[in-house]
Amino acid sequence: MENKITVREAITEKDKAKFWEELSAYFKRDIFPEDGEDREYFLGSEYREHMEKIHERETDKAYYLFFCRAGEDMGFAMPVIFTSEDGKCFIMEFCVLPQYRGNGTGKDCAVALMDWAYERGSEYFELNSGGHERRERFWGGLGFIKNGHDEWGEALMIMPPKGDVSFTAELLHDSDDWQLLKLENGFKLEIGEEALSEEMQTALQEAVKEGKITFFIAKRGYRAVGMCSVTKVYSTFVCADTAVFEDFYIEPAFRKMGIARLLASAAQQWCKENGIASISVTCADCDVDMYRALGFDTKLGTTLAAIV
């Protein structure tokens, strides 16, 4: 079909040079029209060298793609397909050139990109929306939904995996796991708090490493989709350890799939196996019924706090 949009990978040095030329123009024109640190970084050699390494690696590589119609390049994209993990295709960059915009061209290019990625083993798609309303509206029209934030606090959208999905819950052993920071930012920003600063990230990782807090992570294969934490407290009432249940968060796209019960059960079982007499949670009134259904069914009075 003459008007069909096809996807062409930039393989030759000439095509790669053209891709980076178009990407730089896109950054200047559409993303960073004013001077600043972000503009300087994305237009500088450091970002290009970083992406070139990902492009050249054997697995989980970045692709330089052009959208073509009737022999003309009308846009480009840079996805990374994580075939060694869980089939995530992360769309890092996506652009339709200004002269070709309108009449549904952007949607057609996005569909062509996803079809191309599905053929290469992708199971679902994710991208950074930056919280931009126009971008969220565009991708939302294609079936993407808002889904938490990344480890830097940037808003994410996801086209969830199709079909049945199974989950596991496990102890977090790696205090430096970037997915913990991603989930923490999703949790904090959802309840109106600020994302973790670099200092807070370091402090959290150190607390995990030192055993001051224990995290349970819900996973779909490689991907972490939810978490909760347990912090031990010595109680003189029972002369034994008790615990506080916190950091209870599940990515929006994976809610109502049994993950809450999976995490709560894992935390309660771990407490039982480690001689912890009880595990308690402080929650808003609207969440009381949920926590009761998850096994927190003994009322211990009212929690009061002095914020110091």
- CA pair distance 222, 113, nearest whole angstrom: 24
User: What is residue 130's predicted lDDT score, i.e. its pLDDT?
Assistant: 85
**In the listed set 122, 141, 176, which residue is the last one of a domain according to the structure?**
122
Strands (E), the chain: 6-9, 65-69, 72-82, 88-96, 124-128, 145-149, 155-159, 168-171, 214-220, 223-235, 240-250, 279-280
Do 35 and 107 lie in one domain? The reply is yes
From residue 64, give the alpha-carbon distance in Å to each of 30, 87, 103, 218: 19, 18, 25, 33
Domain residues for the domain of 45 are 6-122
Do 69 and 173 lie in one domain? The reply is no
User: What is residue 85's predicted lDDT score, i.e. its pLDDT?
Assistant: 87
Do 12 and 110 lie in one domain? The reply is yes
- Examine residue 127 and state whether it is found in any structural domain, yes or no: no
- Examine residue 150 and state whether it is found in any structural domain, yes or no: no
* DSSP class of 195: P
Do 178 and 83 lie in one domain? The reply is no
- Examine residue 302 and state whether it is found in any structural domain, yes or no: no
- Examine residue 261 and state whether it is found in any structural domain, yes or no: yes
Do 218 and 104 lie in one domain? The reply is no
Q: How many structural domains are present in the chain?
A: 2
Do 19 and 117 lie in one domain? The reply is yes
Alpha helices in 82-197 (DSSP H): 105-118, 133-140, 178-190
Do 182 and 111 lie in one domain? The reply is no
CATH code, domain carrying 208? 3.40.630.30
Do 41 and 108 lie in one domain? The reply is yes
- Examine residue 26 and state whether it is found in any structural domain, yes or no: yes
- Examine residue 138 and state whether it is found in any structural domain, yes or no: no
- Examine residue 139 and state whether it is found in any structural domain, yes or no: no
> One digit per residue, pLDDT tens: the chain, 308 residues?
567 999 999 999 999 999 999 999 999 999 999 999 999 999 999 999 999 999 999 999 999 999 999 989 999 999 999 988 889 999 999 999 999 998 899 999 999 999 999 999 999 999 999 889 999 999 999 999 999 999 999 999 999 888 777 899 999 999 999 999 999 999 999 999 999 999 999 999 999 999 999 999 999 999 999 999 999 999 888 888 999 999 999 999 999 999 999 999 999 999 999 999 999 999 888 899 999 999 999 888 788 778 87
- CA pair distance 135, 176, nearest whole angstrom: 31
Q: Do 232 and 265 form a contact (C-beta atoms < 8 A)?
A: no
- CA pair distance 253, 14, nearest whole angstrom: 40
- Examine residue 73 and state whether it is found in any structural domain, yes or no: yes
Do 283 and 190 lie in one domain? The reply is yes
From residue 163, give the alpha-carbon distance in Å to each of 67, 166, 173: 29, 10, 30
